[in-house]
Amino acid sequence: MTEFREFEFAPKPDLLADQIVNRMATRFSQPELQQIDIARILTGFNAVRVATGKQMDALFFNYMRESALKSGKLSAGEIYELLTTLPENGYGEFMSLDEIAGFTSHLKKEGYNVGLKFGHYRRLTLGHVFEFVYAGKGCDHMVLIIESGERTSKFKNKRIELSDEQRINMFKNSCLVQTLGITSGLDYSDTYYRDLVTEIKPTTLFIPDSWPENVQNEYKERARLSGADPLVLPNLVPLTTTMMEKFIF
């Protein structure tokens, strides 16, 4: 597997990074979603490139290499391959929460390790992509439950940029997850999530290391109650959605 070094790319700024982005964009079937999400990945990293004076492609692979080293699980070459190669299992499928619970039970009986992840995902950032790539190595089948825009607006007090339908299509077409659902309604309590995770009963419950310790502990309790194994995902890239907003808007 090829390992990447910064000096290999610096003489031709942005060329390789643009190539990567173009390959990632082919995973999205809707052009408007390519423009919204892939462009924002570029925008955030371009802003950092200007601030640091580093070439964007060199910066891009620096983050990839650092992420691989921190994870101890993926080489830079493996990350490159995972980002640019269409997975054999292809595009994701949207299901209701009840359907997901039944499908998860079926998959587990067949011997599959079913991973479950939650998130708002107002947009898709490079950090999210790395997180899903890493999580995908920790399970056989990835289930993602996204929060409705109404919940994001009410409980996180964050602006809604993509409609629920757009975000569903974004993840269905991303090849980052195999099964996708959405949770709506106005119950944002720990009890609600404990009941939801217990209903789905995944094999593995993913917990981003970027979350506060008290939130991580609550997710570990949800895993315990549902009989799942908690798996903490390392904070792979130090660029979050919130940190990028000043560059994007």
CB atoms under 10 Å from CB of 186, counted, come to 10
> How far is 230 from 151, CA to CA, in rounded Å?
25
Please, what are the domains in the chain?
6-86+244-248 (no CATH), 93-239 (3.40.50.620)
Rg of the chain taking only CA atoms, in angstroms: 18
* pLDDT in single tens digits along all 249 residues of the chain: 344 333 343 344 445 445 555 555 555 545 555 444 555 555 555 555 556 565 555 555 555 566 556 666 556 666 666 666 655 556 789 999 999 999 999 999 999 999 999 999 877 666 777 788 778 888 999 999 999 999 999 998 887 777 898 888 878 877 789 999 999 989 999 999 999 999 999 999 999 888 899 999 999 999 999 999 999 987 755 555 555 455 443
In whole angstroms, how far apart are CA 237 and each of 69, 87, 95, 132, 206?
A: 12, 22, 30, 12, 17
pTM score: 0.72
Q: What angle do CA 203, 87, 138 make, to 5 degrees?
A: 25
